[in-house]
A and B are shown apart, each in its own frame.
Chain A
Amino acid sequence: MNDIGWLILAIVYAIIAPVAGCILAGVDRKLSARMQRRQGPPIMQPYYDVRKFMEKEQITSNSVQDFYVACYLLFIIITGVLFFAGQDFLLVIFTLTLGETFLVLAAYSSGSPFSQIGAQRELYMAMAFEPIFLFVAICMYLETGSFSISDMVGSGELPSLMMIGVFLAFIYGITMKLRKSPFDLSMSHHAHQDLVRGLTTEFSGKTLAMIEISHWYENIMLLGIIALFFADGTITGFIIGLIAALVIYFVEILIDNGFARMTWQTALKSGWLVGLVLGLGNVIAYILL
């Protein structure tokens, strides 16, 4: 794919991602409900929710939190755009982390103990996920000889069986990013009573709407990263990647409904263990083989 192609992909992402993310979230809730033998809300429910947040009176406990949440949304969009524009993979990781930092700052800026604990847990989750993410980048580099996503796709080296370890580690870690059980420690879409609403306890109205929209953007980007493992630069590779991403998302919903929440200690330890064994193991395998 040439530069124009990547540019178009990035623009398409910026426009389509919230729509696709919203539908994905709706399907997620419907499937979850069906798995619990309930009828479930309409597919467009996440959209109704966000529109409702916009209609509500705005209550802000600390005015700086709105700014932080807006930055969070902005940097999540930038992350996705960078990713789909075929830019540097490391840059994507760092921008995502920056966005995450703004979310944690927003939660810390209010006095509520619930959102503070939520923010703390969010940091633990980031600590658990980040190493895995970096190992993905390193293995991508070792396989394709470049950190640039457009070069990775163009190299023709993907999909590679050599990356199976880091792929599995990424699947493990993505559960944390998608905020699914057993890793929905900082905030969860179900079981709202836990920690009241965790990280988002103090957010309401438009601020909460921004958080939801960021999730939509983020989820689509994460699915994009799954698809990257299968991207060989052809349309077939794209379609296989898309199907793989959707299948994995379905498995995540299944896991979400089948598991209880872990304590943060277990989550952190297991994240590091998986990162170390599968991620680092994969890097060592590259060096040795």
Chain B
Amino acid sequence: MSYSTKSPWILHYDASSCNGCDIEVLACLTPLYDLERFGIINTGDPKQADLLLITGAVNDQNKGVVKQLYEQMPEPKVVVAVGICACSGGVFRECYNILGGIDTVIPVDVYVPGCAARPESIIDGVVKGLEVLENKLNKMREGTL
């Protein structure tokens, strides 16, 4: 196992979520679930983050922000779409301002469905993301990323 998977730092961004999923992401950091036992830290700095957790369907106003955050993160990086809004647009899909899931703007590696996504499934998604992270790191070493 590489060191990246032992210390994944999370960047959480709210792309017009209803805040339901955000509360659940934060719930993962509480004593009950304690993400830090996996070495996970919730950071606010894209340059130091490994995983990008995005909640909510992306809209016209924040698609630039989402792109910029993604581009500022150093490789290897993984994007986890949390909540059904982030996966496909969810109930907001038909809204005039909504673009749809996060994958309309940046490539998504792991989809975590649910409305709101439960902390257990978010942790599951993050752990899935670690596998992707490991793969990307190997590719990076081979020079194919």
Once A39-B37, A41-B39 are accepted as A-B contacts, the answer to whether A57 and B7 lie under 8 Å apart by CB is no
A contact residues around B4 at 8 Å (CB): 52, 55-56
Say whether B37 contacts A55, CB under 8 Å: no
B contact residues around A37 at 8 Å (CB): 31
A contact residues around B48 at 8 Å (CB): 197, 200, 203-204, 208
Once A39-B37, A40-B37 are accepted as A-B contacts, the answer to whether A48 and B42 lie under 8 Å apart by CB is no
B2 within 8 A of A: yes
B contact residues around A200 at 8 Å (CB): 45, 48
A-B contact count (CB 8 A): 82
A-B contact pairs, 30 of them (CB 8 A): A33-B37, A36-B31, A38-B31, A38-B36, A39-B34, A40-B34, A40-B36, A41-B37, A41-B38, A45-B6, A51-B3, A52-B6, A55-B4, A55-B76, A56-B74, A57-B74, A57-B76, A58-B74, A192-B42, A197-B43, A197-B44, A197-B45, A197-B48, A200-B45, A201-B45, A202-B47, A204-B45, A204-B47, A204-B48, A205-B74
Q: Which 7 A-B pairs have the closest CB atoms?
A: A51-B3, A57-B74, A193-B44, A204-B47, A48-B6, A57-B75, A197-B45
A59 within 8 A of B: yes
Additional A-B contacts beyond A38-B36, A54-B3, A55-B76 (14; CB < 8 A): A29-B36, A36-B31, A40-B34, A40-B36, A41-B37, A42-B37, A42-B39, A52-B4, A52-B50, A56-B74, A192-B45, A197-B43, A197-B45, A201-B45
Say whether A49 contacts B137, CB under 8 Å: no
Once A40-B36, A56-B74, A57-B140 are accepted as A-B contacts, the answer to whether A203 and B47 lie under 8 Å apart by CB is yes
Q: Number of A residues whose C-beta is below 8 Å from B?
A: 31
Residues of B in contact with A, size category: 20 to 34
Among residues of B, the one whose C-beta sits closest to the C-beta of A114 is B45
| Docked CA distance A40–B72 (Å) | 29
A196 within 8 A of B: yes
Say whether A196 contacts B45, CB under 8 Å: yes
Say whether A192 contacts B43, CB under 8 Å: yes
Once A37-B31, A55-B3, A58-B74 are accepted as A-B contacts, the answer to whether A49 and B39 lie under 8 Å apart by CB is yes
- Per the 8 Å Cβ criterion, residues 34-60 of B in contact with A are 34, 36-39, 41-45, 47-48, 50
Interface of B is mostly: mixed
Say whether A33 contacts B39, CB under 8 Å: no
B contact residues around A208 at 8 Å (CB): 48
| Docked CA distance A56–B72 (Å) | 13
- Per the 8 Å Cβ criterion, residues 1-50 of B in contact with A are 2-4, 6-7, 31, 34, 36-39, 41-45, 47-48, 50
Shortest Cβ distance from A189 into chain B, in angstroms?
9
B contact residues around A54 at 8 Å (CB): 3
Shortest Cβ distance from A51 into chain B, in angstroms?
4
Shortest Cβ distance from A278 into chain B, in angstroms?
36
- Per the 8 Å Cβ criterion, residues 22-42 of A in contact with B are 29, 33, 36-42
| Docked CA distance A203–B47 (Å) | 7
| Docked CA distance A200–B38 (Å) | 23
- Per the 8 Å Cβ criterion, residues 233-259 of A in contact with B are none
Among residues of B, the one whose C-beta sits closest to the C-beta of A207 is B47
| Docked CA distance A41–B34 (Å) | 9
